[in-house]
Structure 1
Amino acid sequence: MKKFSFIISILFVSISSNAQSDASTIRDIETVCNYYLIGGTNGDSIMYSKAFAPDGQMRFVRNDTLFNVSLKDFMARMKNSGIKQNRTTKIENIQVFGTAATAKLTIEYPTFFYHDIMGLLKTKDGWKIVSKIFYREDKTK
């Protein structure tokens, strides 16, 4: 019976340790996503740029044409204006696979939504967005 209790205790500690690690990882990824979301909302390019690996890529389709923009160029468009944008943001979903993760983000403006799907990797500098794809959805009137 003591041996059984010991095994159960070891399993419980192992499961608890994994759950804490997973919760910590999710928090770290949420922090990175919030650098992007809050930095963008508040016109804070310094916060915004913390989210990205500069050698990453952003891809999107406009008028049936596929575009590819480096995240370095994308970040350069963000000016440190300090002007708050009229939008709300939400982290919809995060999935983690070891050192790789995806995050589904929604940014709502008065007349449209951006749906962002971010690819993240855990680097020596922590989690970074290495890829972004998005879709702009106009609101119906």
Structure 2
Amino acid sequence: MTHPSQSNSTLTAEQLAACAPIEQYFLGHAHDDASYMRLAFLPTAHIESMRERVFTSWPLDMYCERFGGKPAADEATRRRSIDWIEVAGSAASARVTLVHGAMTFTDYFVLLQTQDGWKIANKAFVGQSTQA
């Protein structure tokens, strides 16, 4: 996991805390394990995108069905990073980049600080061909 472009020493304690569910999200991808996703997201979260010009909105349970417990063959070469995170009280937003082989995903998260800590409330993303 890579923290935002600023060094960890320049992140506030709030920013570091808000990164925690993103770290769980990255682990979910690395291990292909939905249990990490359920830790990262609120149960009411939706994962949304435009797929072939059609709006797609998956509830968390549907999204978690995509994880089968078998890490990708190219997992060792995949890269994931937090580009930026901004915190205002109990709300935050973040952009992350996932380079997964031939595809690069840009995810935008809305996060909320709950009684159980920071959670991803919703995700919007786009996937594009990775540039060589």
TM-score, normalised to structure 1's length? 0.76
Aligned residues: 119
* Structure showing greater relative contact order (alpha-carbon pairs closer than 8 Å, 6 or more residues apart): 2
| Equivalent residues of 1:95, 1:102 under 8 A apart | yes
SS at match of 1:36: helix
Match for 1:32 among 7, 21, 26?
21
Q: Which runs of 4+ in 1 moved over 3 A?
A: none
Does the 8 A contact of 1:26 with 1:94 survive in 2?
yes
Larger Rg: 1
Alpha-carbon distance between aligned partners in 1 of 2:38 and 2:80, rounded to the nearest angstrom = 17
* Structure 2: 5+ residue stretches without partners: 1-10
Q: What is the alpha-carbon distance in structure 2 between the residues aligned to residue 46 and residue 39 of structure 1?
A: 7
**Is residue 46–residue 80 contact of structure 1 (8 Å, CA) maintained in 2?**
no
The counterpart of 1:108, out of the listed 99, 103, 126, is: 99
CA contact (8 A) 2:34 2:67 kept: yes
Match of 1:63 among 24, 47, 52: 52
Calculate the TM-score normalised by the size of structure 2. 0.81
1:97 matched to 2:118 = no
**What is the match of residue 49 of structure 1?**
38
Higher percent of residues as helix:
1
Partner of 1:16: none
Q: Secondary structure at the match of 1:39?
A: helix
Q: Is contact 2:20-2:118 (8 Å) kept?
A: no
Q: CA RMSD in A?
A: 1.7
Aligned to 2:62, which of 66, 73, 89? 73
* Structure 2 Cα separation of the partners of residues 48 and 71 of structure 1: 8
Which residue pairs with 1:121 in the alignment?
Answer: 112
Identity of aligned residues (%): 24
